[in-house]
Structure 1
Amino acid sequence: MNKVHLLVADSHDSFVYNLVEILRKCPNCTFDVVATEHCSSLTLENYQGILLSPGPGHPEEVKGLMPLIARTVHTHSLFGVCLGHQALALHFGGRLLQMPHPLHGHAERLSIKEIEGHTLLEQLPADSSVGRYHSWCVAEESFPNVLEITATALSDGAIMAFRHKTLPLFGVQFHPESYLSPHGASIVQNWLAGL
């Protein structure tokens, strides 16, 4: 794998530095962590990929997040985690639903879809479990045609992962950095391998 330089767009979530720890263990990866609201002033040409971090609230409430996606969606590989996943779906015309029962620290088994080409979930065991920490989810009824679902939750069918059909854009609703996601580091490494 070639050396890659990443931007971690920090939306002020306590999990951000758990993701950073996964990146620190990747020998061919360097990165800068920048608060999302300060990303508008960055020169982005030196970054091969952008990790859109988890964060509290609704993506449209996070200063700088939606403009960052609009600026980079055609020029960079993006990996959205939880809030970042939701923001990517919103960018392409998706809608979010507030869940009747928020899930925070909930272990979930995935139903991984068989899809050709690069996905973040390649080579994961079929019954992989992940950690859910969210009160919003991407609505399946308004799911954008340019995206394809790569995994759903076994318990409630919620969209857990997607990718763009033609661009290197990926989202996961769950937290790969959580102790409830034993294969989470592999998911991050799969994204890095595609850069």
Structure 2
Amino acid sequence: MKLLLIDNYDSFTWNLAQYFGELGAEVSVERNDAITVNAIAARAPDAIAISPGPCTPNEAGISMGVIERFAGTIPMLGVCLGHQCIGQVFGGRVVRAPRVMHGKTSKIFHDEKGLYTGVENPFVATRYHSLVIAPESMPDALEVTSKTWEDEIMGVRAKGLAMPLEGVQFHPESIMTTAGKALLANFLRLAREATSRDVTFPNVPDSNVPAPDVTVPDVPDREAKA
């Protein structure tokens, strides 16, 4: 599987590249200002991952353009800043987090679907961020897939696309994230399964047009899991 990793000028990019490589992907890394959307289309990767990075989605180079162009046609995973880019592209607001989390760990409670299939619930993940997707701005086109004990959004998934599109606010590539490699393996599995199907690719959804109202699944009961 050919995986293109968009580097938002972050050292964690290389941890992601190493993990994906260990899981069997053929990884190529491109800086967010060193490749065009058309060049990516010509390269035709099997999957795309968008890395962590500094600043906001507005300073993430081509990252949001990649999501806008390939959502629904190429499997994609956004990590930290990449996750925030997904939220903003689909109409959410990225705002200052209630707490700055740099090198701190939290329990992550999830919906046990998609990226989280077969993953312990909760698991411990490392966080390096001062921004989050504002819960009140969550667009209908996305569903919340994971949260912290304090209900901070830690994961999102696009609804109704032919190809998987998921984001995680935490760092699966960190050694202190207990289920990190399992999550990345799940993404590659989802990508392989999706690309092996004979599908008709839909147009990228207009983030300004709300999708049909779908109830966001509850995070599993944390009282029983903690």
- Paired letter, 1:70: E
2:53 maps to 1:55: yes
- Paired letter, 1:145: D
The answer on whether the counterparts of 2:52 and 2:80 sit within 8 Å (CA) in structure 1 is yes
Q: Give the SS at the match of 1:88.
A: helix
The answer on whether the counterparts of 1:110 and 1:127 sit within 8 Å (CA) in structure 2 is yes
2:142 maps to 1:147: yes
Deviation at 1:166, TM superposition (A): 1.4
- Paired letter, 2:156: F
Structure number with the higher helix fraction is 2
Q: Distance in 1 between matches of 2:61 and 2:187?
A: 25
Q: Distance in 2 between matches of 1:127 and 1:99?
A: 21
2:13 maps to 1:19: no
Counterpart pick for 1:164 among 133, 136, 158 = 158
TM-score scaled by structure 2? 0.79
> Paired residue for 2:184?
188
1:15-34 CA distance string (max 9 Å, x none): 1111111012113x112100
Q: Which moved more, 1:66-75 or 1:101-110?
A: 66-75
> Paired residue for 1:94?
92
Q: Give the SS at the match of 2:119.
A: coil
Q: Give the SS at the match of 2:172.
A: coil
- Percent sequence identity is 35
The answer on whether the counterparts of 2:72 and 2:165 sit within 8 Å (CA) in structure 1 is no
2:80 maps to 1:121: no
Counterpart pick for 2:169 among 160, 167, 173 = 173
TM-score scaled by structure 1? 0.91
Deviation at 1:100, TM superposition (A): 3.9
Q: Where do 1:61-100 residues align within 5 Å?
A: 61-100=59-98
Q: Distance in 1 between matches of 2:11 and 2:122?
A: 27
Structure number with the higher strand fraction is 1
Q: Distance in 2 between matches of 1:99 and 1:151?
A: 16
Deviation at 1:82, TM superposition (A): 0.3
Q: Distance in 1 between matches of 2:145 and 2:67?
A: 21
Q: Distance in 1 between matches of 2:99 and 2:153?
A: 16
Unmatched runs of 5 consecutive residues or more in structure 1: none
> Paired residue for 1:130?
125
The answer on whether the counterparts of 2:102 and 2:129 sit within 8 Å (CA) in structure 1 is yes
The answer on whether the counterparts of 1:39 and 1:68 sit within 8 Å (CA) in structure 2 is no
Deviation at 1:46, TM superposition (A): 2.4
> Paired residue for 1:106?
104
1:152-181 CA distance string (max 9 Å, x none): 011x21100111111210000000001220
Q: Which has the larger radius of gyration?
A: 2
User: What RMSD in Å do the two structures reach over aligned CA positions?
Assistant: 1.3
The answer on whether the counterparts of 1:9 and 1:39 sit within 8 Å (CA) in structure 2 is no
Deviation at 1:147, TM superposition (A): 0.8
Deviation at 1:101, TM superposition (A): 2.7
Total equivalences in the alignment: 187
Q: Give the SS at the match of 1:56.
A: coil
Unmatched runs of 5 consecutive residues or more in structure 2: 192-226
